[in-house]
Structure 1
Amino acid sequence: MFRRRSTHGRREDAARTWAVCSVLLDYPTEELVSSLDELEALVADDPHLVPLIDHVRGRTLAELQQDYVATFDHTRKCALYLTYFAYGDTRRRGAALVAFKEAYRRGGVEWSEEHGELPDHLCAVLQFGATVDVAIARQLLEDHRAGVEMLRIALAGWRNDDGSVGSPWAGALAAVSGTLRELAGDEAEAVRRLVEQGPPAEEVGLSGYGADPALSTGPALISTATIPVGAPR
């Protein structure tokens, strides 16, 4: 007989997955390299994350940093900023970024802008969910699910220099997607359209945020949760 898993258990599983993904999707550092055993212990049976952790183990820090920048900083389709996929660099994006700050505030933390990072950075949302509020983070991810899936598809189809297909970081997006509900109907169609058309392209100034994801700087903090986010550019 099968037993229904508790909602509490699902929240704990999601929090562990998000915690590990938030670290693996951030800019590689010595701290990441030294914490790989601890990260693997949290997700020892995950078929998506264990191969990514093994990949990180097998590369030098310089190689990881070079590959990371080439993937996430130089390629718009692999931007780690969730509102970018829905709004591009349009005026509507500013209001969406404010909504992320308000969501963090509902969870009892304030977003710090002193380092210039944007609040919709995927690592920030995952870290917030892992350490502060699972439900609020899940809602942010679901609200921007088309962007999450577009990033997952882009990384899965990434062409490597050796001719192989699939970014090592694709596993992290597959793991995140696996913690969310299955897409169907209009939602699946929205992902298809976004992949075909890409984000809106209107260029505007986003005062206080920076118009281009590739120009943002880090790290930044969700202050009371001590959450570092973003790579030095």
Structure 2
Amino acid sequence: MEEQERTILVIGSRLLAYPDDNFINEQIDIKDCINDNITSPELKKELNKALKSIHRLSPEELKKLYVSTFDLKAKHGLYLTAHELGDSSKRGAAFIRLQKIISDAGFERVDDELADYIPMLFEFLAVAPDSQDNDRLVRRLAVALKRIISSLPLDNPYYNILYILRKNVFPEPTKEEIAKLEFEREDADLEELPYPIMYK
């Protein structure tokens, strides 16, 4: 994975994490990250636009938007296996496999978030070495992102960062991958509240 793609993943992981009290203060750090690591003027402009569309809201407005966008609609949820399996009992085994991928790469989670939390997986891919397991994870995330974006309103402030991730980091899912996701998923009932994650 190219360094610029890793930078986009880091930015995406921050912007898509639950906006706690420290989130607004991270705006300067994210801007610096964009200016220091993104070489394409067009991409830099798109990322700053995505950042501005989110940070123009007050902290309380942003928290309400986050919950209404990602927690109340299954198609927009930020949990990978929920997109793949819905409420299937197979999710437990999927969590274990994801945690093993993370552990085998030499990382450990330092928060209580579920192993399939998409912003956390973005951060993991941004720092983990390339591997076959991670390549497969990229393709799985590509399908989930496609599903989220396909039903998210264009005027939702989170749309821009999701679209940038989809266009610049993740491959276009095949028809077979999309069909497999639709076939294996059971109706999901997502109630988890997401919180930001950090790796050490």
* Superposed pair shares fold, TM > 0.5: yes
Change (3 A) 1:180 1:221: closer
What is the Cα deviation at residue 132 of structure 1?
Answer: 3.4
Change (3 A) 1:148 1:38: same
What is the Cα deviation at residue 11 of structure 1?
Answer: 2.1
Of residues 113, 130, 138, the one that matches 2:126 is 130
**2:130 corresponds to 1:143:** no
Change (3 A) 1:56 1:219: closer
Which is higher, the Rg of structure 1 or of structure 2?
1
**Could you say which structure has the greater relative contact order, defined with CA pairs below 8 angstroms and 6 or more residues apart?**
2
**2:14 corresponds to 1:23:** yes
- Between the aligned partners of 1:31 and 1:181, the Cα distance in structure 2 is 32
Residues 139-162 of structure 1: CA distance to partner in whole angstroms, max 9, x if unpaired?
31213432121012222xx2xxxx
Provide structure 2 residue ranges, at least 5 long, that are not aligned to the other structure.
Answer: 36-40
Change (3 A) 1:170 1:191: farther
- Given that 1:85 and 1:198 are in contact with CA atoms closer than 8 Å, whether structure 2 keeps it comes out as no
Change (3 A) 1:192 1:50: farther
Provide structure 1 residue ranges, at least 5 long, that are not aligned to the other structure.
Answer: 1-9, 159-164, 204-211, 227-233
What is the Cα deviation at residue 190 of structure 1?
Answer: 4.0
Of residues 26, 48, 62, the one that matches 1:64 is 62
- Given that 1:21 and 1:126 are in contact with CA atoms closer than 8 Å, whether structure 2 keeps it comes out as yes
Aligned AA for 1:149?
Answer: K
Change (3 A) 1:221 1:21: closer
- Between the aligned partners of 1:96 and 1:74, the Cα distance in structure 2 is 23
**2:37 corresponds to 1:43:** no
**2:89 corresponds to 1:120:** no
| Residue 150 (structure 2) aligns with | 153
- Of stretches 127-136 and 12-21 in structure 1, the one that deviates more from structure 2 is 127-136
Structure 2 length-normalised TM: 0.81
What is the Cα deviation at residue 192 of structure 1?
Answer: 6.7
What is the Cα deviation at residue 82 of structure 1?
Answer: 0.8
Of residues 31, 34, 49, the one that matches 2:25 is 34
| Amino-acid identity (%) | 21
- Between the aligned partners of 2:56 and 2:30, the Cα distance in structure 1 is 15
Structure 1 length-normalised TM: 0.71
- Between the aligned partners of 1:104 and 1:137, the Cα distance in structure 2 is 9
Of residues 150, 158, 180, the one that matches 1:169 is 158
What is the Cα deviation at residue 69 of structure 1?
Answer: 0.7
Aligned ranges 1:183-202 → 2 under 5 Å: 183=173, 187-188=174-175, 190-191=177-178, 199-201=185-187
| Residue 98 (structure 1) aligns with | 96
What is the Cα deviation at residue 129 of structure 1?
Answer: 1.6
SS of match in other structure, 2:57 = coil
Number of corresponding residues: 191
Change (3 A) 1:31 1:131: farther
